[in-house]
Amino acid sequence: MIAAYKASFRKYTLALCAMAAAGSIAWFCSGQLAENIFEQRLNNVHDDFSAAQVEPNTQIDKALEALGRFDRSSQECSGEQYSQIADTVKNFRFIYQAAVQLENGRICSSYGQKITSVSAGNESNRILVKGRTYEISSDQATSADTDFIIISQQSAYVWVNKEILLDNMNLPEEVQLDLRGPGGMASITSMNRQPLKLQEPFPLEELVTTTDKAYVAFPNNRNELISVLSVALSDLTALRWKLFVVLAFMLEALVYIAWRIHSYYTSTVVQLRKATRANKLNVHYQPIVNLRTGHLVGAEALSRWSLKGAAIPADVFIAAAEKSDLICELTRSVMRQVAEDYSTYFWACKDFYIAVNLSAQDILDSTFPDFVASIMATYNLPASAIAFEVTERALLDHESASIQLQRLRAYGHRIAIDDFGTGYSSLSFIESVPVDMLKIDRSFITKDKIAAKDALWRHITHIAKALKLEVVAEGVETQQQLPHLASEGMLLAQGWLFSKELPAHALARRFFQCPVSLNPQTD
């Protein structure tokens, strides 16, 4: 009992550990997977963003080049210069305004008027790279529009409208873009977002997580600006949880399937099938004794099987075999073994028989009688050498059973009803089923019942006599039972009083000691 509790405790602890391990693996993998997915997603966004940058970059290059060719030596901005600057802007959709600074410091702009300064004045928002200055301006005095990137090269300036630029990039709503200068200088951030705080130095082209963001930084071959694409860490965490649920479910399902497969392959039936096919099943024989002479008249073949060193009770593994399709295979294996043992040890023992137990499936197997005949022929045995035992339970389908048993009898085998008296059936079945022997179940001849001349015991012996069949008393355990058996005319008996089941060679030794003493044996 305690061992069973221990085994099931071990089983459930193991199952819990496997589930916990699967959960941890799922959590780890979901983290990795979520990061990979986000990294891939940001890579894709960056590819789109790089493609979308080509047109504005070309326009900026062209505008700055055109503005660079301006004559800056004049003292004032002429009307012609104003309109030339305005024309430059007009042709480029991304450039909102432009300006040129004359040599004397005056600034001529596409606004058509002089402006005093183009700087937004905030040093921290200015990036100087490859001779160009990028400056973010959200408070441009010369325009009602607010968000610009002012790009200047030497004395030429262009205002790029951030909103149009971002529209063109088509950045997903949740992705923030920061443009960083070399050496960690100020950043230009996409609309209405706080610049990303990066811990320097940050690696390029791999996902980095901070306390609130996950980002990938991409170098830009064109101008050494670094584009940092970021998402909120909560998005990554949400994805991780979703993946965790899916992965955990899949892994738990895998653990469960593995568990079931393991249980299947370690199940009694599978092990028993293996043992049957490998001839690892033993057949032992329990003698049947003539009470008058003390001679062994026969023996019952009983299968024996051990799993991992522990003997499994016959009724347990036979019941398991009967529930599957294995029983027919097992019976045939027993049949082969019995024939071999008989031909080895008892071939000269005239009238000695071995009884083989049959299950319902064997009786209904139409090929079984022919199989038996072929085995008997192979070992050159007379049919009288083998009898068959069937229980009343195995004869539920009287008609088919009767046909099959009749075929066996036609070959010359005798049929015994095993455990007689314990079946459900009325005695009428004996008329329809061909039978030669009755084996009275041991429950009727227990010491007390037999001594008290129990009503059932008397009833059962009367039936046996009336049927005029050969009768074997099963399960005889004590000397005290013998006179009661004799007084009822019982001639044959089987039980631990005479012997437990023996290997074939020991049975042969016992046979040749005949007549056996009717004292308890210790083999």
Beta sheet of 187-189, edge-to-edge order: 187-189, 176-180, 226-232, 213-218, 208-209
The identity of residue 153, as a single letter, is: Q
What are the contacts of 374-383 at 24+ separation with CB within 8 A?
375/335, 375/336, 375/339, 376/339, 376/411, 378/339, 379/339, 379/340, 379/342, 379/343, 380/343, 381/339, 381/342, 381/343, 381/347, 382/412, 383/411, 383/412, 383/413
> With binding defined as CB under 6 A, does residue 110 bind ligand C2E?
no
For residues 338 and 286, the answer to whether their CB atoms sit within 8 Å is: no
Q: CA-CA distance, 100 to 82, in Å (whole number)?
A: 10
What token pair was written down for 267? 């199940």
Q: Which of 135, 341, 362, 419 binds Mg ion (CB under 5 A)?
A: 419
Q: Which of residues 283-302 bind ligand C2E (CB under 6 A)?
A: 286, 302
Q: How many residues bind ligand C2E (CB under 6 A)?
A: 22
What token pair was written down for 348? 């000269």
Q: Which of 35, 147, 341, 418 binds ligand C2E (CB under 6 A)?
A: 418
| Closest listed residue to residue 148, CA positions, set 224, 278, 56 | 56
Q: Which of 35, 147, 178, 419 binds ligand C2E (CB under 6 A)?
A: 419
For residues 199 and 210, the answer to whether their CB atoms sit within 8 Å is: yes
Strand 414-420 and strand 437-440: the pairing is: parallel
Nearer to ligand C2E, 42 or 360 (CB): 360
> With binding defined as CB under 5 A, does residue 501 bind Mg ion?
no
Nearer to ligand C2E, 62 or 304 (CB): 304
The identity of residue 429, as a single letter, is: F
Q: Which does 314 bind (CB under 5 to 8 A by kind): ligand C2E, Mg ion, none?
A: ligand C2E
Q: Which of residues 447-506 bind ligand C2E (CB under 6 A)?
A: 475-477, 495-496, 501
Closest separation in Å from C-beta 310 to ligand C2E = 14
Q: Which does 496 bind (CB under 5 to 8 A by kind): ligand C2E, Mg ion, none?
A: ligand C2E
Q: CA-CA distance, 359 to 379, in Å (whole number)?
A: 24
Q: Which of 183, 313, 515, 520 binds ligand C2E (CB under 6 A)?
A: 313
> Which position has the token pair 């060719």?
69
Pick the stretch among 15-23, 355-363, 408-416, 422-430 that binds ligand C2E (CB under 6 A). Answer: 355-363
Q: Which of residues 56-85 bind ligand C2E (CB under 6 A)?
A: none
Q: CA-CA distance, 102 to 153, in Å (whole number)?
A: 13
Q: Which does 495 bind (CB under 5 to 8 A by kind): ligand C2E, Mg ion, none?
A: ligand C2E
Closest separation in Å from C-beta 291 to ligand C2E = 14
Q: Which of 178, 362, 418, 488 binds Mg ion (CB under 5 A)?
A: 418
Nearer to ligand C2E, 178 or 418 (CB): 418
Residues 6+ away with beta carbon under 8 Å from 73: 102, 103
Closest separation in Å from C-beta 377 to ligand C2E = 22
> With binding defined as CB under 6 A, does residue 341 bind ligand C2E?
no
Pick the stretch among 83-91, 321-329, 350-358, 377-385 that binds Mg ion (CB under 5 A). Answer: 350-358
CA angle 117, 123, 126 (to 5 degrees): 85
Closest separation in Å from C-beta 412 to Mg ion = 20
Q: Which does 302 bind (CB under 5 to 8 A by kind): Mg ion, ligand C2E, none?
A: ligand C2E
Applying CB under 5 A, the residues found at the interface with Mg ion are 357, 389, 418-419, 474
Applying CB under 6 A, the residues found at the interface with ligand C2E are 286, 302-303, 313-315, 318, 331, 334, 357-359, 389, 418-419, 442, 475-477, 495-496, 501
